[in-house]
Amino acid sequence: MDDFINLFSHNLCIRCTGRIFANIDTGMTDYQRGTMLAFAYKSFYGTYNAPDTCWLCNGIFNEFDKYFNMVKDAIGTKEYTTFLIGSKFDPATLLEEEKIQNKYGNNGESIKKEFNREFGKYFSSISGKEFSKDADIVIEINTIYDNVNLIIRPLYIYGTYKKERRDIPQTRWINGSGDSIESLIGEKLLKFTGGKNYKLHGSGREDVDVMMLGNGREFIMEVDEPEVRNFPVKEFMEEVNNSGNGISISNLEFTGKKRVKEIKEATYDKIYRAVVECNTPINENTLLMAVNTFRNFTISQRTPTRVIGNRSDLIRKKEIKYINIEDIHDKEAVVKIRSQSGTYIKELINGDGGRTTPSLSSVYGYELKVKCLDVLKIER
């Protein structure tokens, strides 16, 4: 009985009183619990007067209209369909609340949790938007200083690209200068989405001087802080493809962050065509015997010297399915190669000073190098 009397000595409002026991009966709201407790107290002692002001919540649950308008102004014209509410309360207030709840068995919930839930319901009922843990916009309400911060989830667009030029990297240089596949797609994407920045996630990459043909390479464009989340994808694709920059995109669709990891970790066989050159006329029989060595054959590749500054110095085992000769003319040969993803094709041919073993050069017996290289197909 003393605990019952003490419960109302904290001078809390009905809602904050009920929240002390939020986890005992989850079929009621905190306000309903508080009302039931106040009724019981009044039945025992004949009177109960709720405080005009509550030192804990300061009547915040009666100010949802104010916070809704603050959020509405912060969002402005940003396009979204789902949201998540977060909040910040005075740490000292949260600590005092925790002490009171611990006194009565630690069966309560914090004012922060209730506010997030109840304001979320209120916001959804007026805005027509849906709550989601993977929301388009996270709305953070600072109840201490009465301001709103928005965290806008990036927009992700999946597609495949082809590259028909030998002078363009996949991603932007550090200083952002020059064309790249990333910038040629991304700059147009900002026009359609109103985003702040962009990033290309590729399923592997080709060298600057290698063309990406065939069925194209999978990629996902990530757009930061988009104003528009739904735009005419076909129109965007046509604008990129008609730009005359030597790249084209297809198979576009909206996707999520999870797929970034999936395409980056995916492993596929890849088919290449390489023009190989030698300092002396190529002997067809010798080259034929050399390429036959690499049928379903595993090589060892130490990270190439040309990329060692950007990659860990490791030895990787890569399977070569075949190297087939398509043509030989004097000092040049055209070969088609099918290999496991991640194989360094130029080093498979030239050996990279013994860092790739065996190489086509070492088996052929003369130094060979790649004059030009194309990706013909990614076996998905």
Catalytic residues: 207
Which of 29-38, 203-212, 292-301 has the weakest average pLDDT?
29-38
Strands (E) across 118-206 are located at 130-131, 137-142, 147-152, 155-163, 197-202
Residue corresponding to tokens 């990333």: 182
Report pLDDT digits (tens) over 69-85.
999 999 999 999 999 99
Report pLDDT digits (tens) over 46-69.
666 778 789 999 999 999 999 999
Residue span(s) of the chain under CATH 3.30.70.3190 come to: 270-378
Distance CA(220)–CA(203), nearest Å, equals: 9
pLDDT score of 180 more than 90? yes
CB burial string 155-179: b at 16+ within 10 A, e below = bbbbbbbbbeeeebbbebeeeeeeb
pTM of the model: 0.87
Q: Under CATH, which number does the domain 155-265 receive?
A: 3.30.70.2510
Q: Which CATH architecture has domain 270-378?
A: 2-Layer Sandwich (3.30)
Distance CA(211)–CA(164), nearest Å, equals: 5
Q: Give the relative orientation of helices 111-127 and 91-103 as an angle to the nearest 10 degrees.
A: 110
Amino acid 46: pLDDT: 66
Q: Confidence class of residue 301 from pLDDT cuts 50, 70 and 90? A: very high
Q: Give the relative orientation of helices 64-75 and 111-127 as an angle to the nearest 10 degrees.
A: 60
The radius of gyration of the chain's CA atoms, rounded to the nearest angstrom, is 32
Residue span(s) of the chain under CATH 3.30.70.2510 come to: 155-265
pLDDT score of 299 more than 60? yes
Mean pLDDT of the chain: 94
Phi/psi for 16 (5° steps) reads: -65, -30
The reply to whether omega before 226 is within 30° of 0 (cis) is no
